[in-house]
Structure 1
């Protein structure tokens, strides 16, 4: 750890778009870090970013400049999807801890390469599946841990978010080469939540898709059916063509109850229950990155680095989320055939 003289960890934000803005606001709240630099392939964008957030830091253009700066302990990668893997590998090989936006990779080869590079380097990492820190997610995980709904046998999580040319990242998001796929672009949040709530890995998946509006180079609407290793079954979907408010649907069904978003039915906890109990909580009901709990995510990463422990949301764990996304894409390419996991 190459902490500053005052003990704070030096942070470099690489990529100065919308999500980086939300990250910067959260980094500024953590007393154990100092923002060292902001960088972008468009230096003017980085300079505007620094001025907007009133930062006293260096502006760089290239990641190589960031990694050559001895003050930097953590690299926060916020660029377009297709550069995440290459930049993550470079940061790890330079001995920097990293926070990397999703998706962290666009192919199985990248998935393996990034996982292995981080493991070899021994650096701490966190992939930005930020909804793991959403208060409703925390409540649901607590109820599952307390066995509130008994043996979990069905898990369903959906990411329905109509995306079009209005999106600030549309230039790269809608193409296969730089956006990846519907599952990698946005559906990976639902796939990660599926794994997170199940507490298990998927052993097989079959998926179908369509591209009704033809806005994307890849199919924008996908539904996948999965079987987990311990016998539970599930479903996940992503709809990028939908015309409706952002929706992140969660259904967890057990032998003694059910959780539907923020509603609880539990014959074990509430034997006299006559209607759904509602959990007062902040819901994952907005696609606005400023609604996401980045404060908690960033605090978690900093704590992991300072305590020398691994995050539950590190690159090694996110490898499995991305592997499932890629298996879904493989099933679609094969006309909906069942794909076994692991892929390799």
Structure 2
């Protein structure tokens, strides 16, 4: 394809958007052409304070209508994602959208249909796939170092309070959340699919442990049955009184993983105890710690080389569908089979 520089516009200018701008600016195939924030005056001040030489536009519609913008990055409040993604797709823009892509299953289906119909590239912000620890697990599992995986856990525990600027517009509200799985539990849910494969059915329970400022259960646990016969568990809580934690546990026919430790006697015959992964772990909720650069690089390479991105719209849809199965099971107190109708 034509190797002229791609031009990107970023919608929203909170902490996550700043990380996307930094990542885009580090990629030699992209220029960041425009930013739209909630308040144009404050956005211009912030852009100047960060030393970015980027035009600030007043509205999302302005950005989408600019013919010289090829990519739209959507980091706005959750309840806006579906409409913005569909508008960007209809305008022929390639899209990076933060999760979730919709507030309910019908919105998710409409977003999926619109992006597929437009034929544009898509990437979702489930950034933990590019964490070095997760990449290491993917490689080790792919090489059979743990044998056939028969049990897997990934959990996401992160105390959410008003210290997070998103808390006011949806961190605890159904109208802006709309659930623990879609706000952030989706990170762990996505890793279950990415490392374990497709899921056949789900049974989940949710609870309010001790917080009363959430309109949905801020804590849940879900048991999963994979199509390959393996089983697993994923959970999430926003009301823990402890540091950020992404918990992981994997058992296979030739070895196991527990957080930052692994055991596999077939590869290391003299192994008598756990060995430690010496890599970057997913152990911080700070967005500056998250590997946005690699997410962006994969997306840009997908555009340049006309291949699917890692979290293309089909992959993204399947992870969101699994979150909706978890939410449906919590609401109905019953087992939910995938795919959803």
Q: Same fold (TM over 0.5)?
A: yes
Look up the SS of the partner of 1:195 in the other structure.
helix
Correspondence for 1:38:
35
Q: Does 1:189 align with 2:187?
A: yes
Look up the SS of the partner of 1:28 in the other structure.
helix
Correspondence for 2:45:
48
Correspondence for 2:15:
18
Q: CA deviation at 1:111?
A: 1.0
Contact 1:164-1:215 at 8 Å conserved across structures: no
Q: CA deviation at 1:174?
A: 1.4
Q: Does 1:95 align with 2:69?
A: no
Contact 1:150-1:255 at 8 Å conserved across structures: yes
Q: CA deviation at 1:181?
A: 0.4
Look up the SS of the partner of 2:234 in the other structure.
strand
Q: CA RMSD in A?
A: 1.2
Correspondence for 2:4:
7
Q: How many residues are treated as equivalent by the alignment?
A: 339
Correspondence for 2:141:
144
Look up the SS of the partner of 1:214 in the other structure.
coil
Look up the SS of the partner of 2:325 in the other structure.
helix
Q: CA deviation at 1:210?
A: 0.8
Correspondence for 1:127:
124
Q: Where does structure 1 differ by over 4 angstroms across 4 or more consecutive aligned residues?
A: none
Q: How does 1:168-317 map to 2 (within 5 A)?
A: 168-172=165-169, 173-198=171-196, 200-212=197-209, 213-317=211-315
CA distance in 2, matches of 1:44, 1:109: 36
Look up the SS of the partner of 1:155 in the other structure.
strand
Look up the SS of the partner of 1:224 in the other structure.
strand
> What's the TM-score, normalizing by structure 2?
0.97
CA distance in 2, matches of 1:70, 1:57: 17
CA-to-aligned-CA distance 1:62-112 (integer Å, 9 cap, x gap): 211001111100000000111111111111110000000011222111111
* Partner residue of 1:322 out of 305, 320, 326: 320
Correspondence for 1:81:
78
Q: CA deviation at 1:49?
A: 3.1
CA distance in 1, matches of 2:212, 2:199: 30
CA-to-aligned-CA distance 1:286-305 (integer Å, 9 cap, x gap): 00000000111111111110
Q: CA deviation at 1:44?
A: 2.2
Q: Which range moves more in the overlay, 75-84 or 38-47? A: 38-47
Structure 1: gaps of 5 or more residues: none
